[in-house]
Structure 1
Amino acid sequence: MTDQATEGPRMTKGERTRQRIIDAAFELFSRSGYRAVSLRDIAAHAGLTHAGVLHHFPSKEATLIDVLTRRDQVDAHLVLDPGPSAAELIDNLVDIVERNTRTPGLVSLYAKLSAESTDPDHPANYYFTRRYRLLRDHLTSAFSVLLEDGSPVSPGTAAVQLLALQDGLQVQWLLDPEAVDMRSATLDYLRLLGVVEETDDT
């Protein structure tokens, strides 16, 4: 899972084992989805016994939470920072879109999990609901600053439409990476709103 985390030289044996488990879970969830994978599958993929995995993670849900938490760490400057400026928020969002084009496994995992998690009983449902609301609220605040009075698009609508655009672009990109430029399409939308300049290469 080179796009998630790399082992540091100071990791303990236990930490390295946990990382192996998370790497295995990430790969299997990306390939088959959350529901189709068992904890025994993860153990086999990590080259460990079922009991060995249980020593570190008491359930498959626990591995999922750790995988999702790592994504939050990747995007911490956007999702967890309580007060990025409007301009910084837009810049960060475009950077994340561009980085996603270099991490197809991560995009694939999120596409699968976000579809599955529409079920309120799915363990990722709370995570995705919370993350969406955080992004929507951050973007609404940013657009409130960046959109001029009299704009035909409200800040809340602009935020929701941008998130929908990015979700759609990610699915299209997974189907045909050569046909979709997520960064350019995102910037085109921001230019239509008038929040970035026509010549801006953010």
Structure 2
Amino acid sequence: MATRGGGRQGRELSDRGAETRALILDTALAAFAESGFRGTSVREIAARCGLTHPALLYHFPAKSDLLMAVLTRRDEADGGDAFEGLEAREMLAHLVATARHNATQRGVVELYATLSAEAASPGHPAHTYFQRRYASLVVHLTRAYRDLARAGALAPRVDPEAAPRQLVALMDGLQVQWLLDPEVDMAAAIEAHLRAQLA
């Protein structure tokens, strides 16, 4: 039977473990954003955290495990599937709000811009993750544009089947432009694009 002291000690160890994992994930996010997955070593991340290489491997046995944990943590912080239950116009407004929020998170934008390009290779550990991420986004946006078309709310010549991928391409392109020039207003550009599409 565990004593009170043992229980408290166990909680303290658990808390320290959670803090260490959080430190590793935050550090890995920054490192992957700066150098990409392939350009970052686990030893480098461990050193930045003030940990030994084996200590980091205790928490994340492989670099691919660490990468997927970073991506999962970011998704959880963003609230998971934020489009669920939103109407078409709400969904588009959410994208504008997301772009505005992303302008306060350079490291996260760098991470996704770098990794999404790297992950085009089928052998990349995040290949399936980004495939599913883009596919899900296009499915949600296609539903939104189809709903708008049925309601007569799209401007003439806006194709509800092509518009979703065009919007995703615009958002990705704006992120790269913003990374190169922080004066670029991603949210305003997306908002102007959507205004031109809506009747």
TM over 0.5: yes
Partner of 2:47: 44
Partner of 1:89: 91
Partner of 1:175: 180
Q: What amino acid is the match of 2:16?
A: K
Partner of 2:169: 164
- The total of aligned residue pairs comes to 183
Q: What amino acid is the match of 2:158?
A: V
Residues 83-162 of structure 1: pairs in structure 2 closer than 5 A: 83-147=85-149, 148=152, 151-162=156-167
Sequence identity percentage: 48
CA contact (8 A) 1:72 1:80 kept: no
Which 5+ residue runs of structure 2 have no aligned equivalent? Answer: 1-13
2:59 paired residue among 56, 60, 76: 56
* Alpha-carbon distance between aligned partners in 1 of 2:65 and 2:124, rounded to the nearest angstrom: 13
* Alpha-carbon distance between aligned partners in 2 of 1:181 and 1:163, rounded to the nearest angstrom: 16
Answer 1 or 2: higher relative contact order, Cα 8 Å, separation at least 6: 2
Q: Classify the secondary structure of the residue corresponding to 1:119.
A: coil
User: What TM-score comes out, normalization by structure 1 length?
Assistant: 0.85
Residue 23 of structure 1: how far off its partner (Å): 1.1
User: What TM-score comes out, normalization by structure 2 length?
Assistant: 0.86
Which 5+ residue runs of structure 1 have no aligned equivalent? Answer: 1-10, 196-202
Change (3 A) 1:194 1:51: same
Q: Classify the secondary structure of the residue corresponding to 1:163.
A: helix
RMSD, aligned α-carbons: 1.7
